[in-house]
């Protein structure tokens, strides 16, 4: 049992000025009207080529991102490492479609693997399949459409070659790599790709990790199948477990197009399956590796309980806790302080390109999301504690 509200540990990486600044930022992004306005405002400003990079860089970007390049992130990597928290460099550029741009993204991800191989503080790499493939083709593949024209076949072959190059680089460097989970209209194809990569590169140990979104009602069945398949094909699957980030979009599309929603009926059902999957993975740790990507305190606590119950050492490399930079430091810092493996996604990329990521984080932290209250109240608690201690 560990406590997450030890704010002294949670904010040990922030001096008074940083804390005051974070307080202001969370107060601002707590206002839904302001976040909505910022979305429209920044899009317009970029179109009009107004010089807004500076202000974004000093505010929301500074909080949620490591920098514009891998080199830029080195300070953040060191800051986290000082508290035994690893970094997962996440090149957060989205929406590219030309072969040249997709190749550049592949090269950037391979560069993040090289950076990890040369550091003790970067335990994983990560990529999104939609970041290195043409999404219309991925959707066709998802829907089982095999009737592709010559150009499409070539593009698909190039996408598969990019994915293989990344996984091979991870294998050669001995750095495990996460394949993020995405919208359900791509995910069947992504699952097949992840399974093929795991079968190829996870023969000795988990190197390629697939991601399971437990807000989907079919994932427990999928996990059982994955165990059987991996035994039959003789490989060790890595699983990053998340609840899932695209719920509203999923429900809207299902309703609009008249197919049954892939999403669980309630939050309780999602939470139930998340914890059930965690139990399954811990009980099958001889075969699987798990990374719990969550900001949920109960799930984090439950994973600690499961590890104790199953006699798994705190620093067993097959079990990791992970959060996003700028969110839920009270979990990351307290869990790392207690001796468990913890890492944070540190997104990076050119400011304009990471705007969609930043706006998603801002939206997630508006007052309606609930999490916001928690972040702010912990900062308030720590500011009071520091005042009293002086
Ligand atoms: C390290 C890391 C990696 C990540 N990688 C991915 C990824 O690859 N793909 C991806 O999709 N997301 C990813 N995420 C985002 C993740 O899905 C969200 O952070 C997560 O959904 C927030 O949930 P939580 O576990 O923190 O807990 P909570 O805040 O307790 O749960 C919120 C989540 O519960 C679910 N939920 C809420 N209401 C309902 C409802 N009414 N019915 C059903 N379900 C509901 C939704 O998934 C919602 O996001 C990642 C997060 C982290 C920290």
Asked whether residue 156 is domain-assigned, the answer is: yes
Residue stretches of the chain with pLDDT short of 70: 34-35, 44-46, 48, 50, 367-372
**Tokens matching residue 152:** 């499409």
- From ligand 1's centre to the CA of 255, what distance in Å? 21
- Which residues is 290 bridged to in the sheet? 239, 319
Quick check: CB of 219 below 6 Å from ligand 1? no
Closest CA to 207 of 121, 114, 317: 317
| Ligand 1 mutation pick, 130, 264, 293, max ligand atoms within 8 A of CB | 293
Q: Are 181 and 213 in contact (CB under 8 A)?
A: yes
CA dihedral 70, 73, 79, 82 (to 10 degrees): 0
* 2 and 104 both lie in a single domain: no
Asked whether residue 363 is domain-assigned, the answer is: no
- Which residues is 291 bridged to in the sheet? 240, 320
Q: CA 329, 335, 336, 340 torsion: positive or negative?
A: negative
**Domain with 127 in it: what CATH number?**
3.20.20.220
* 163 and 260 both lie in a single domain: yes
- Ligand 1 atom nearest the C-alpha of 369 is 29
- Which residues is 349 bridged to in the sheet? none
Q: CA 282, 288, 289, 291 torsion: positive or negative?
A: negative
Which residue's alpha carbon is nearest to atom 17 within ligand 1? 244
Whole-number pLDDT of residue 91 = 95
Quick check: CB of 369 below 6 Å from ligand 1? no
Closest CA to 315 of 172, 177, 123: 123
Whole-number pLDDT of residue 317 = 97
* 50 and 71 both lie in a single domain: no
**CA triplet 123, 133, 109: central angle to 5 degrees?**
25
Quick check: CB of 345 below 6 Å from ligand 1? yes
* 98 and 33 both lie in a single domain: no
Whole-number pLDDT of residue 256 = 97
DSSP per position, 282-298 = HHTTTT-EEEEE---HH
Quick check: CB of 180 below 6 Å from ligand 1? yes
Closest CA to 114 of 166, 182, 183: 166
Give strand ranges (E) for 259-315: 289-293
Asked whether residue 118 is domain-assigned, the answer is: yes
* 292 and 275 both lie in a single domain: yes
Total tally of structural domains belonging to the chain: 2
If you ran DSSP here, which 8-state letter would residue 73 be given?
G
* 18 and 75 both lie in a single domain: no
Whole-number pLDDT of residue 30 = 75
Tokens 């990560």 map to which residue?
A: 126
**Tokens matching residue 357:** 């990521």
Neighbours of 47 (CB within 10 A): 8
**Tokens matching residue 250:** 């999923």
Q: CA 258, CA 204: separation in Å to the nearest integer?
A: 44
- From ligand 1's centre to the CA of 175, what distance in Å? 25
- From ligand 1's centre to the CA of 245, what distance in Å? 5
Q: Which domain holds residue 8?
A: 1-65+368-390
* 31 and 166 both lie in a single domain: no
Asked whether residue 360 is domain-assigned, the answer is: no
* 45 and 130 both lie in a single domain: no
Asked whether residue 33 is domain-assigned, the answer is: yes
Q: Global pTM?
A: 0.95
| Ligand 1 mutation pick, 216, 242, 375, max ligand atoms within 8 A of CB | 242
Cβ-count burial of 221 within 10 angstroms (0-12 exposed, 13-18 middle, 19+ buried)? exposed
* 12 and 95 both lie in a single domain: no
* 57 and 179 both lie in a single domain: no
Asked whether residue 355 is domain-assigned, the answer is: no
- Ligand 1 atom nearest the C-alpha of 269 is 43
Asked whether residue 356 is domain-assigned, the answer is: no
* 149 and 44 both lie in a single domain: no
Which residue's alpha carbon is nearest to atom 15 within ligand 1? 245
Quick check: CB of 326 below 6 Å from ligand 1? no
Which residue's alpha carbon is nearest to atom 33 within ligand 1? 243
Asked whether residue 354 is domain-assigned, the answer is: no
DSSP percent split of the chain into helix, strand, coil, nearest 5: 60, 10, 30
* 210 and 142 both lie in a single domain: yes
If you ran DSSP here, which 8-state letter would residue 72 be given?
G
């Amino acid at each position: 049992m560990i406590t997450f509200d030890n704010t002294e540990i949670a904010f040990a990486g922030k001096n008074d000025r940083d804390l005051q600044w974070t307080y202001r930022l969370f107060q601002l992004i707590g206002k839904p009207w302001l976040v909505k306005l910022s979305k429209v405002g920044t899009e317009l400003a970029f179109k009009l080529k107004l010089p807004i990079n500076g202000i974004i860089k000093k505010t929301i970007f500074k909080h949620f991102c490591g920098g514009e390049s891998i080199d830029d992130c080195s300070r953040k990597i060191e800051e986290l490492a000082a508290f035994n928290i690893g970094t997962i460099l996440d090149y957060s550029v989205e929406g590219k479609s030309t072969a040249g741009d997709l190749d550049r993204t592949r090269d950037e991800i391979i560069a993040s693997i090289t950076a990890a191989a040369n550091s003790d503080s970067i335990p994983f790499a990560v990529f999104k399949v939609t970041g290195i493939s043409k999404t219309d083709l991925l959707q066709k593949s998802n829907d089982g459409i095999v009737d592709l024209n010559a150009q499409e076949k070539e593009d698909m072959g190039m996408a598969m070659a990019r994915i293989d190059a990344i996984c091979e680089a991870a294998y050669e460097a001995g750095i495990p790599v996460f394949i993020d989970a995405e919208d359900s209209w791509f995910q069947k194809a992504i699952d097949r790709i992840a399974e093929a990569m795991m079968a190829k590169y996870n023969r000795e140990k988990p190197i390629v990790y697939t991601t399971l979104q437990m807000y989907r009602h079919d994932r427990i069945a999928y996990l059982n199948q994955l165990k059987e398949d991996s035994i039959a094909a003789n490989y060790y699957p890595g699983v990053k477990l998340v609840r899932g980030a695209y719920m509203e979009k999923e429900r809207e599309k299902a309703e609009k197009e008249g197919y049954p929603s892939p999403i669980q009926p309630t939050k309780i059902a999602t939470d139930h399956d998340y914890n059930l999957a965690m139990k399954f993975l811990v009980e099958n740790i001889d075969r699987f590796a798990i990374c719990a990507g969550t900001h949920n305190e109960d799930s984090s606590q439950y994973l600690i309980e499961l590890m104790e119950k199953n006699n798994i050492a705190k620093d067993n490399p097959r079990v990791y806790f992970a959060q996003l930079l700028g969110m839920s430091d009270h979990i990351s810092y307290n869990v790392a302080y207690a001796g468990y493996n913890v890492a944070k996604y540190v997104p990076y990329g050119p400011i304009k390109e990471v705007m969609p990521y930043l706006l998603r984080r801002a939206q997630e932290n508006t007052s309606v999301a609930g999490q916001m209250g928690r972040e702010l109240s912990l900062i308030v608690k720590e500011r009071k504690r520091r005042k009293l201690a002086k």
